[in-house]
Structure 1
């Protein structure tokens, strides 16, 4: 009797996921994701803007968890540690879902505790927003923070409305 009950319970459990495969539960939300193709498009635009202005840079694009999707360093990028800086800025922006400059401004504005977050609080990264959701971030390390942001804004304009 116990074996027959167990078979019925297991059979019922094995059918439930198959029946639900066509219809997601109401508690599951759609999550936009950043594709490699979109990351490549953003990177190409960033390189173009940087080259047009004579500001070679390192750049990094990460997903919403801060994990690298694409990193590159242009010939002549002036900062040797630029690729690490770009990655750190991008990761910070993605995890906080805001420009990395916001955290630099918090520190400079008297909130030194922000340093304890263990991330890179430097201007030069912007979140990538698609379908109204932060799906990643673009970090730039060129010659100045102002140029970093200018490159990032122009690159993101190619994919964001």
Structure 2
């Protein structure tokens, strides 16, 4: 076979994730930048809530890029391996400086396949993770309601 098919997050599913993250943000009393990328690492949907930090726009996009590309949450890189002197120190400079080691990027996995990711930024890493997790959970619930992975 000369070609393959790659499952990707749909725009509709990305909007579901963004809505879920925004709802959590409102519960938290905070505004965030919320980015969704598909499995090809391209930006699919972006929301900047009114008082979200302007300097966090690109950070949220890069968190999503990293989580989808490595199929792991960006919080996985918060350990001594990625700090100065660690064997993987400097990874944050890879991919044109887009590789994020700051918590808040989470892959969206459907039926065992990473179809995209959400990246959230403006709060602390723990707050960003909380908001991003709500987005992932919203997509997972949406998929269950629809009876399957057709994104």
Q: Could you say which TM-score interval applies, normalised by the shorter chain?
A: 0.7 to 0.9
Which runs of structure 1 show a deviation greater than 4 angstroms over 4 or more consecutive aligned residues? Answer: 27-30
Superposition map of 1:23-42 within 5 A: 31-42=6-17
The 2-side partners of 1:52 and 1:132 are apart by: 30
- Measured after TM superposition, the shift of residue 28 of structure 1 is 6.9
Q: What is the alpha-carbon distance in structure 1 between the residues aligned to residue 27 and residue 21 of structure 2?
A: 10
Is the CA contact (8 Å cut-off) linking 1:60 and 1:71 kept in structure 2? Answer: yes
> What's the counterpart of residue 160 of structure 1?
140
Asked if 1:81 corresponds to 2:55, the answer is yes
Q: CA deviation at 1:83?
A: 1.2
Instruction: Please say if 1:142 is aligned against 2:122.
Output: yes
Counterpart CA distance in 2 for 1:85 and 1:30 is: 29
Higher RCO (C-alpha 8 Å, min separation 6): 2
Aligned length: 135
Instruction: Give SS of 2:123's match.
Output: coil
What CA distance in whole angstroms lies between the structure 2 residues aligned with 1:116 and 1:58? 22
| CA deviation after TM superposition for structure 1 residue 33, in Å | 1.9
The TM-score normalised by the length of structure 2 is: 0.80
For structure 1, the 5+ residue unaligned runs are 1-24
Query: Are positions 1:62 and 2:37 aligned together?
Result: yes
Q: Distance in 2 between matches of 1:156 and 1:55?
A: 18
* Consecutive unaligned residues in structure 2, runs of 5 or more: 142-151
Cα distance change of structure 1 residues 120 and 43 upon mapping to structure 2, 3 Å threshold: same
**Residue in 1 aligned with 2:89?**
112
Q: Note the alpha carbon deviations across 1:104-156, whole angstroms, 9 max, x for none.
A: 43413823142342422211100011121001110000221100000111221
In the other structure, the counterpart of 2:147 is none
1:103, 1:114 within 8 Å by CA — same for their partners in 2?
Answer: no
